[in-house]
Amino acid sequence: MSILTINAGSSSIKFALYPIHAKQIESALISGMVEGLQTGGEVFLTWRKDEETARFALNVPKDASTSIRFQTALHALQSLFEEKTQGVKILGIAHRVVHGGSFFREAIIVDETRLEQLRSLCPLAPLHQPHNLAGIEMFAQTFPDVPQVACFDTAFHADVPEEEYLFALPKSLSQEGVRRYGFHGLSYQYVMEALQRHSQRANGRTVMAHLGNGASLCAALAGKSQATSMGFSALDGLMMGTRSGSIDPGVILHLLAQGWTQQDVQRLLYSQSGLLGVSNVSADMRSLRQSDAPDAALAIRLFTYRVVREIGAMIATISGIDVLAFTGGIGEHDSQLREDVCKRLDYLGVQIDEEKNRSENGSKIAALHLSSSAVEIYLVPTDEGRVAAGAAAKLLV
C-alpha cells in the first residue's frame, strides 16, 4: 500500500508515491513533477524512480486552457503510475493545502462540505488555495474510489500563543477569523523532526528559515511553533520572489486613495513586488546572482537584510537561540545567502564553517557550524510530501 502526495500549484504539480510498511512511511517509490501548466507554457513531465529518471514534453497546444493543461497532466500521471507501480495499491491521495483557516487544525478526509469550507479561504491565499483545491477535485475525478486527504500548512502553527496570533484589532474581527495563521507548516514539521533526530539542542530554542519563492521564518520551543513571520495571509513577513512581505498598511491606503483598485493592489503585492519588483530583473535568486544589474544586487541585499531582521524578532520571542536551520529552494542551495545571514548574526556567537557551507548542495541534512559556534547551524532539505503522506496514513491505515 502507498500514499500518493500531490502539491498542485498555479504552474506545476509535484508528486511522490510513498510506500507504507508497518504504518511507517518509507522512501518515495517514484517522484517528480509536471511543470509549464501556466497559459502559454511548454508542459514537461519529470519523474524519478530508483536510479531511473526521465523528462519529456507532453503534447499540449500552447493556446490550450489551464483546465486542458491540468487534465493532460493528470492523464499522463495516471499512465505513469499504472506503468511504474504495478501491484501497488494507492490507499489515499494526500494534498498540500495552504490554508485551513479556523476550520481545520489537522489533516482531514475531504468531502463536498469540507471542500466548500476550504473554498471560502481562497481570498486569504489567492496564489495557492484555488490550485490546491482544483488538484483535489481533479484527482477525485481521476481516482474516484480513493480518499482525498487535505494536509494544511497552517496546522503546525495552530497552537501558537494568543499574543502571537492576535492582531491589535477589535475583538469582533478576531472572532470572525481575522488573525495570524502562519504557513509552510508541512515544511517546518519535517525540518523540526529531522533536526531532533540529529541534535539534542533542537529540543530547545530553534529558528527555522524556509527561504524560497515563498519565504518565512518559524521560532520553535521543544519542537512546537511559538512564532512565525507569515500571518493572516501568505503576504506577511519576509520579502519573497514576487511578494512584498510586511508593508505599512498606510501604503495600501495611499494607493487606494490614488485610485488603485483592490485587484491592482493584490497584483502589486502578490505578483509584482519582492525580488522581482526591486530588481526589475527576476524573481529567481539564481538569476539575480548571475546578473550585473545594480538593482539585482540591491534586491539580494534587501532580501538578506529582511531575513536577518526577522530572525532577530524570532529569537526575541523564544528568549535566545540554540539551533538555526535553512531550508527551501534558496535556503538549501544558496550558500552565499546562508553565509551572509550567519555573519550578520555573529554577535550571538553564530559561527558558520565557510568551507563546509560552500561544499553542501542541499542533497542531505548537513551541520554547517564550527565547533566553537554557540549556535548549531543546519541545512535541511525539506520533504513536505513525506509529512503529508504520514498525516494521511494516520487517517487511513
Which residues does the annotation mark as catalytic? 153
Q: How far apart are CA 38 and CA 348, in angstroms?
A: 44
Q: At what angle do helices 129-142 and 112-119 cross, to 10 degrees?
A: 160
- On whether 95 is known to bind a ligand per the annotation, the reply is no
Q: Which amino acid is at 240?
A: M
Known binder of ligand: residue 331? yes
Is 223 marked as binding a ligand? Answer: no
- Does 268 carry a binding-site annotation? no
Q: 14: annotated binding-site residue?
A: yes
Please indicate if the annotation marks 362 as binding a ligand.
Answer: no
* Phi and psi angles of residue 279, each rounded to the nearest 5 degrees, phi first: -85, -30
Has 40 been labeled as part of a binding site?
Answer: no
Residue 99 annotated in ligand binding: no
Which residue type does 159 have? D
285 assigned ligand-binding residue:
yes
Residue with cell 474516484: 144
Beta bridge partners of 216: 210
- The residue length of the chain stands at 397
* Amino acid letter, 133: L
Buried b or exposed e, range 216-241, using 16+ CB within 10 angstroms: bbbbbbeeebbbbbbbbbbbbbbbbb
> Is 7 assigned a ligand-binding role in the annotation?
yes
Annotated ligand binding at 59? The verdict is: no
Q: Are strands 376-379 and 323-327 parallel, antiparallel or unpaired?
A: parallel
Question: How many Cβ atoms sit within 10 Å of the Cβ of residue 372?
Answer: 8
> Does the annotation list 198 as a binding residue?
no
203 is in an annotated binding site: no
Annotated binding residue 284: yes
Query: Is-contact 245 306, C-beta < 8 A?
Result: yes
Q: For residue 146, report the phi and psi dihedrals to the nearest 5 degrees.
A: -110, 130
Cell for 117? Answer: 469550507
Residue 86's CB: how many other CB atoms inside 10 A? Answer: 7
Q: Is 210 annotated as a binding residue?
A: yes
- The C-alpha atoms of residue 189 and residue 325 are separated, in whole angstroms, by 12
Residue type (1 letter), 10: S
Using only the alpha carbons of the chain, give its radius of gyration.
Answer: 21
Q: Which residues are annotated as a binding site for Mg(2+)?
A: 7, 384
Q: Which residues are annotated as a binding site for substrate?
A: 96
Q: Which residues are annotated as a binding site?
A: 7, 14, 96, 210-214, 284-286, 329-333, 384
Q: Which residues are annotated as a binding site for ATP?
A: 14, 210-214, 284-286, 329-333
